[in-house]
């Protein structure tokens, strides 16, 4: 008894409707658009953060030959927490951009590049952030700009989306095509697997786009706006403290009006900085950003599971001689 292909033409039409080259170019275009959008933020952030960190360090180390006023313990703890959050955001920007903005991160031949990334990048990024000597170095650190160029060029020339499911789809489609004149059940099975896996590959690219657009841009905006604002306030605290300590070393009278005025300014600047730092490190903001990341993955995994379940049911219905 020969095997008859149920709805074969419709499935073949589905396969034909996928343009591998178009998908690849579209993904490259999405990545390019994301890079162009993020660059203005990154350039401004690079310059501001570099300047701020250097100035804060200078003010903190100023007047070492005189008695230095101690800042409140809760203020120092808030500074520490802000630095940790900056470290977290920087790591997330770097990792998600070097992963989800590249087509082939889950395709086995790309593992070598991914392992190289992990070895070279994962570590104490915040220390690196503090030690950069130019805005360009900071920009490269945040987004792995130099590493990105080489692999972006590869994305431009591939004819198939080099994802795990995309390549599995291509393998199945290749051998299904070679045996297209056969009425073997395997022919039909390969056609179904190829079609489903290609749909999963495409939906993964949609997930990547959501992560780079919805998560990364918000992280960079936070660096560009909130962290820079807080750093300006921290810089002001250390600047006024330096001025106060220097003035106090020259004036022995604690009731001096000028000295009292500067001390009041220090207290006020510290209180404002504390308020803004507390606002910055509110857990709800960061948790909501993590939810964007998790939701994008959840949507893809659920869609993939649904398609795989449907595929398995279809394969179970194949009858053999």
CA of residue 134 relative to chain centroid, distance: 22
- Write down the pTM of the prediction: 0.66
The tens digit of pLDDT for each residue in 74-116 reads 999 999 999 889 888 888 888 888 888 888 888 766 544 444 4
Q: How far apart are CA 260 and CA 254, in angstroms?
A: 7
Residue 59 has pLDDT above 80, yes or no: no
Which domains does the chain carry? 8-316 (1.20.1270.60)
Give me the pLDDT at residue 216, please.
87
Cα-trace Rg, the chain:
28
Mean pLDDT confidence for 276-282: 94
Q: What is the mean pLDDT of the chain?
A: 75
What is the average per-residue pLDDT within 270-278? 95
Amino acid 307: pLDDT: 96
Q: State what percent of residues in the chain have pLDDT above 90.
A: 27
pLDDT of residue 90: 83
Rounded Cα gap, residues 131 and 139, in angstroms: 13
DSSP string, 135-171: HHHHHHHHH-HHHHHHHHHHHHH-SS--SHHHHHHHH
Q: Does 119 score more than 70 pLDDT?
A: no
Given pLDDT bands bounded at 50, 70 and 90, which one contains residue 156? very low
């Amino acid at each position: 008894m020969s095997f008859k292909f149920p709805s074969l033409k419709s499935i073949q039409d589905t396969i034909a409707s996928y343009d591998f080259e178009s998908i690849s170019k579209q993904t490259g275009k999405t990545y390019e658009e994301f890079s162009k959008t993020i660059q203005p933020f990154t350039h401004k952030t690079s310059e501001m953060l570099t300047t701020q960190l250097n100035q804060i360090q200078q003010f903190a180390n100023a007047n070492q030959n005189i008695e230095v006023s101690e800042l409140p313990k809760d203020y120092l703890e808030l500074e520490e927490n802000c630095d940790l959050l900056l470290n977290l955001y920087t790591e997330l920007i770097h990792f998600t951009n070097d992963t989800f903005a590249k087509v082939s991160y889950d395709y086995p031949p790309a593992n070598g590049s991914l392992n190289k990334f992990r070895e070279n990048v994962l570590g104490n990024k915040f220390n690196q952030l503090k030690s950069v000597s130019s805005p360009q170095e900071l920009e490269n650190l945040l987004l792995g700009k130099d590493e990105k160029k080489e692999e972006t060029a590869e994305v431009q020339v591939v004819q198939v989306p080099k994802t795990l499911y995309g390549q599995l789809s291509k393998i199945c489609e290749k051998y299904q095509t070679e045996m297209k004149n056969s009425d073997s059940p395997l022919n039909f099975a390969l056609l179904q697997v190829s079609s489903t896996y290609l749909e999963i590959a495409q939906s993964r690219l949609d997930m990547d786009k959501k992560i780079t657009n919805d998560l990364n841009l918000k992280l960079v905006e936070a660096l560009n706006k909130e962290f820079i604002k807080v750093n300006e306030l921290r810089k002001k605290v250390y600047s006024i403290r330096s001025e106060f300590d220097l003035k106090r070393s020259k004036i022995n009278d604690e009731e001096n009006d000028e000295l009292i005025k500067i001390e009041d300014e220090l207290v006020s600047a510290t209180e404002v900085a504390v308020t803004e730092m507390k606002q910055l490190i509110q857990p709800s903001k960061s948790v909501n950003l993590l939810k964007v990341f998790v939701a994008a993955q959840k949507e893809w995994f659920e869609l993939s599971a649904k398609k795989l379940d449907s595929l398995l049911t279809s394969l179970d219905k194949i009858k053999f001689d």
